[in-house]
Amino acid sequence: MTVDEESGTSTQHIIMIESADAEAAGPGVKLERSEGEEDPRNIRDIQSGAPSVATEDPTTPAQPRTRRSITEVSGTPNAVLKSETDTKTLTVTHRLLHTGSDHRSDPERLGLGRLGSPLAPSSEYLPVFHKSPRTGNSRGDGDGDALDTAGDDPSCSYTTEMDPGNMPLGLDTQTDLSRGDWNRRSSCVYSEGCLDKKEEVILADEGTVKVEGDIPPTWNADSHLGDGHSQGRDFLDYRGSLETNPNVATHSPLHVFKDRDPVSTLMAPSDSHGCVLFDRVLNSNDRSRAQAQEGGATSGNSKEKRFLCMFCNKGFSSSQKVERHQRVHTGEKPFSCTQCEKRFSRQDTLKRHQRIHTGEKPYSCSQCHMRFAQAGQLKMHLKVHTGERPFACIHCGKRFSERSYLRLHQQKKHSTL
DNA sequence: CTGGGGAGGGGGCCC
DNA sequence: TGGGCCCCCTCCCCA
């Protein structure tokens, strides 16, 4: 029954659901409000958001005498939604840290809609709190304290209704996902990097991304999804998959299936659908990479990969890798360059990028004076000296030093991929 | 067409 | 286990 004393808008709701009475009582929700009940938004949050938080599968017969309670605390640094049943408990934490006016963190503009919406009451997956990366190169808009403070909160994150229009605190006080708190907050996913200077509009392929019903108009048309085009597409992919794959949407960005067989814990029934859709809109690079890596969690790698990406089910050996990977889907770019303010999803990528500014070229050619900032550049350069051309065109036999050259050649000369 | 530059992303290692 | 870092492969862009 805690209410944030610092904010007059703080509210708390207790919802008691008596499943036994659910059918007879219609909504089956008794809403008890302590404070702030004058705020209709909060009521709507619970009621409209209820299907995503605490309702039972309508197709599932109500369990007799199963009592559930949902507690929502909004307007506090931690809004907690807790659903309790006799068998399942989930906790939702919205970390409402960023109260500034960072324009990059405007989920409404991004049309976040119901990204994080449905929460599976029946989920067996355990949401695991993960600290997201902080940008060590934050442009310093003065909210670092809030972040640090929040970082101490071990709250577990899960998905809840994230309809921006229904957010209890309003958009301007919403989380700053740009700072990498994506996992901690919910599946409210988008790239703040997307909102950067370039303002590039990624036009979603309407035929590719299925958009239904209540998805905001900005959903496709006005998404600023980062510098990387593919990132934007990936994000749209995810959105599409959410719309068509309820199971995907019902789970936390991070699902750790500890002590479980990764294969058996896959969201199998929906995989075939959601991931197919997902794959359809993956750019060719990602697809080829995924194929090369025997993509997905089911691949039988020697190292156990029990940490699954909620978007594509790809398995990883550690939670950090999953978090890192999932930024592919979310487009989140927490790391910004202090020199040019370009943003990156990974710290090491940023570090590599900053060699541009420092002029550091640690990789030098032993054959000539050339120096390179990346090892791969040196490796490619060495082929100049060795004359190595390992990639031959199957059509004309012409050889190339790089696969990309060969592919380009084949596309132009032989109209193949 | 070639080669350099920059970046995205996965995997592995070390502390 | 988490975080950091590095290596590697690959891609795209551009001169």
Q: Which residues from the 72-131 window of protein chain A have CB within 7 angstroms of nucleic acid chain C?
A: 128, 130-131
Average pLDDT over residues A259-265: 35
Which of left, alpha, beta for A259 (phi over 0: left; psi -120 to 50: alpha)?
left
C8 C1' to A292 CA distance, Å: 14
Cα→Cα distances A193→A211, A215, A223, A265, A280, Å? 23, 22, 11, 33, 24
Residue nearest to nucleotide C3 (CA to C1'): A320
**How confident is the model over A194-242, as pLDDT tens digits?**
333 333 333 333 333 333 333 332 333 333 333 333 333 333 334 334 3
Query: Which candidate, A125, A126, A132, places its Cα nearest to that of A153?
Result: A132
Most confident of A21-30, A99-108, A386-395: A386-395
Q: How confident is the model at residue A137 (pLDDT cuts 50, 70, 90)?
A: very low
Classify residue A404 by its DSSP letter.
Answer: H
Cβ proximity of A114 and A163 under 8 Å? yes
Cα–Cα distance for residue pair A292/A230, rounded to 1 Å: 18
Residue A322 CB partners (closer than 8 Å, separation 6+): A254, A307, A308, A309, A316
Rg of chain A over all Cα atoms, to the nearest angstrom? 24
**How confident is the model over A283-323, as pLDDT tens digits?**
333 333 333 333 333 333 346 777 888 888 888 888 889 98
Strand B contacted by A228 CB (< 7 A) = yes
**Is residue A355 pLDDT above 80, yes or no?**
yes
Residue A366 structure tokens: 């032993």
CA angle A269, A272, A276 (to 5 degrees): 150
Percent of chain A with pLDDT over 70: 26
The protein footprint on chain C, as nucleotides within 7 A of a CB, is 1-13
**Is residue A382 pLDDT above 60, yes or no?**
yes
Nucleotide nearest to A283 (CA to C1'): C11
Q: Where are the beta strands (DSSP E) in A207-256?
A: 223-224, 254-256
Cα–Cα distance for residue pair A21/A67, rounded to 1 Å: 10
Cβ proximity of A253 and A189 under 8 Å? yes
Cβ proximity of A164 and A171 under 8 Å? yes
Q: How confident is the model at residue A30 (pLDDT cuts 50, 70, 90)?
A: very low
Q: How confident is the model at residue A325 (pLDDT cuts 50, 70, 90)?
A: very high
**How confident is the model over A102-117, as pLDDT tens digits?**
333 333 333 333 333 3
pTM of the shown model: 0.43
Strand B contacted by A119 CB (< 7 A) = no
**How confident is the model over A60-83, as pLDDT tens digits?**
333 333 333 333 333 333 333 333
User: Mean pLDDT over all residues of chain A?
Assistant: 47
Helices within A24-63 (DSSP H only): 40-53
Q: Which residues from the 16-35 window of protein chain A have CB within 7 angstroms of nucleic acid chain B?
A: none
